[in-house]
Structure 1
Amino acid sequence: MHIRPRLNRCFSRKNKLNQTSRAPFPVPMGSSSPSPSPEPPQSSAPADGASNASLRWHILRRALLSRSASPRASEGTSNDPQEKGDTNKISRKTSRSFNLFECHTVPISQLNKSQGDSLNGNENGVECQRDVYVCYKLPCGGSPELNVIYRRDDSLELNDIEASNRFNIDTTGLVCCWPSEEVLAFYCINHSDMFRSKRVLELGAGYGLAGLVIAASVNAGEVVISDGNPQVVGYIQQNISINAETFGQTKVKPMTLHWDQEHASDMLNSFDIIVASDCTFFKQFHQSLARTVKSLLKHSETSQAIFLSPKRGDSLNKFLDIIKEYDLCYELIENYDPTVWNLHKSYLAGDDTSWPNYNEEHCYPLLVRITFGDFV
């Protein structure tokens, strides 16, 4: 018998909350808002003796120069494999994931005309040149496929950052599909019964992989895929459009949802299940995230929020402390899926070296179940 290690917490305290307005998502570059907690030190120094801080400056420099139109840009980028290897190890942006889904890149020409019309521009447009289309084969009955549009690696542009500062939104949803999102999607497929005929909301969805997987594979009644960045929501809309035939009778829609704003009355306490991945890192948004969950989750014995989040220092624990203040109960589960758990152990032990910057604190998501009542 496989026993899952768990840590249960159920708290009830009088709600004493700071109601000051907070930003809905992590602070964009250039913001004057408080910085996130420092990351834990690396276990060893890079081979060339460079500090972690200097390597992170190399990452920023390489990204900016790669986007430059100057003919001298290539002169400023290093071809030294040692430097590139060190920056890949120190980077928190993963170049891979748990590889839980069979997937491959889809050429634009393979998308049919009706799908192409709903994409970012046309095949020769700037938007299509910076996008990549990935086809996922889902490990469930009928093996449905999803086409998901992403930005290409290192395609973040200056106007993205300017928009972040102007509208107080975040750009992390444009960077990549983070490992926690992939794990959340995989978990939802393996627990499809809990979503059947339910109204589901994904918070901070990025490109929306988990929400799209739920819509395509679990026979949910309705799936709302949300993010606070309108640019990201534009991608979500496109991904919904090009996969519409995969959703069957499930209603699917995108939504721009800021955690610190008032929510429409028809949304209050109306969702049976709320899901989110890697949304607890920035502590200054814990209050607004917890308030959003409590406001939108249906008051029912069967309603719940499912979060997949790495520890990221003490950030996850701080969020769980906030959950207590909102009279919500939580259950923290470390080993929630044997496939994910075995991969995690393999990366930690060094048996699988394909993920060179794998770090338990930042890469392995813990599962948090949040409800209004006690766990049985």
Structure 2
Amino acid sequence: MDSPPFPSPAPSGSRGASNATQRWSILRRALLARSSSARALEGISSDHQIKDGTNNISRKASRGFNLIECHSLPISQLAKSLGNSLNGNENDFGQKDVYVCYKLPCRDSSKLDLVYRKEDSLELNDIEASNKYNIDTTGLVCCWPSEEVLAYYCINHLDMFRSKKVLELGSGYGLAGLVIAASTNADEVVISDGNPQVAGYIQKNISINAETFGETKVKSMILHWDKEQASEILNTFDIIVASDCTFFKQFHEGLARTVKSLLKHWQPHKPSS
């Protein structure tokens, strides 16, 4: 008899309930929930998740920690508010895009308008692009809670960015980098990601918020950690920030090499004789 395509979840408390089994359970439910014949699965309660243990293995908590006040609005409202910029119509955004407005807890009460993909809207072509370019798709999934924490930290340490050239690595939709650009007196902020689709969202969010950056220069960049970096950006950044960039162990070496090559070489001060 052929084995089933997915292993059945082991009962709660069973020694056989390994992490791999629990991950298969998550994948099984995700695939079944997409079929019209399995809509009943959408009503699975959190109690069921507790019983099969998948809540212990899934670390997605995309609602964040409410450190920065935000609310979702219709994408049409953003298009209308933009007027002539980005042509001011909904065609500038995808059907799966959502608009989130952040109110920053700063002295001048700045706000940021960000465009995201709707949660759980990854498609097959996203996975194909991931395989083609040897990148991951985590930046498309959501604005992760760690990014919100990094943004909140930056808001509470504004002076450290004064007149500095700042790079954010693995930025996703770029919340932290945009917060630095909008809230501090940084000289330049470069917001980077290795996924071209994600970098496209970063550039769109930069364009949407261009008027909030003052004299700070802001740009997006596609940056792959496993490649030799362009000579013009070597040893140029005063500060490099990142959140949740150590999740995949295979990227650790490239990440460390990238930070080392792009961060300005520190020169100890030598007292004059």
TM-score by length of 1: 0.61
Is the 2:78–2:99 contact (alpha carbons within 8 Å) kept by the matching residues of 1? no
Aligned mate of 1:72, from 26, 37, 44: 37
Is 2:188 aligned against 1:187?
no
Q: Percent identity?
A: 72
Q: How many Å separate the matches in 2 of 1:178 and 1:270?
A: 28
Q: How many Å separate the matches in 1 of 2:48 and 2:117?
A: 25
Once the two structures are superposed, the pairs formed by residues 283-322 of structure 1 within 5 Å of their partners are 283-300=249-266
Is the 1:215–1:223 contact (alpha carbons within 8 Å) kept by the matching residues of 2? yes
Q: Which residue identity lines up with residue 67 of structure 2 in the other structure? A: L
The 4+ residue runs of structure 1 with deviation greater than 4 A are: 45-50, 116-119
Once the two structures are superposed, the pairs formed by residues 35-46 of structure 1 within 5 Å of their partners are 46=12
Q: How many Å separate the matches in 2 of 1:48 and 1:104?
A: 41
Once the two structures are superposed, the pairs formed by residues 1-376 of structure 1 within 5 Å of their partners are 46=12, 51=17, 52-66=19-33, 68=34, 71-74=36-39, 77-81=41-45, 82-84=47-49, 87-113=54-80, 115=82, 123=90, 128-300=94-266
Structure 2 equivalent of residue 365 of structure 1 = none
Structure 2 equivalent of residue 3 of structure 1 = none
- Which whole-Å deviations, capped at 9, do the CAs of 1:47-92 have from their partners, x for residues lacking one? 89993544422322333344x4x543536x3523133555445311
Q: How many Å separate the matches in 2 of 1:58 and 1:138?
A: 39
Shift of 1:166: 1.1
TM-score by length of 2: 0.83
Task: Extract unaligned runs of 5+ from structure 1.
Answer: 1-44, 303-376
Q: Secondary structure at the match of 1:237?
A: helix
- Which whole-Å deviations, capped at 9, do the CAs of 1:162-194 have from their partners, x for residues lacking one? 111111111011112222211111111111111
Shift of 1:116: 7.6
Is the 2:168–2:242 contact (alpha carbons within 8 Å) kept by the matching residues of 1? yes
- Which whole-Å deviations, capped at 9, do the CAs of 1:347-368 have from their partners, x for residues lacking one? xxxxxxxxxxxxxxxxxxxxxx
Q: Which residue identity lines up with residue 60 of structure 1 in the other structure? A: L
Task: Extract unaligned runs of 5+ from structure 2.
Answer: 1-10, 269-273
Q: How many Å separate the matches in 2 of 1:276 and 1:295?
A: 15
Structure of higher RCO (CA pairs closer than 8 Å, 6+ residues apart): 1
Q: Secondary structure at the match of 1:225?
A: strand
Q: Secondary structure at the match of 1:266?
A: helix
CA RMSD of aligned residues (A): 2.8
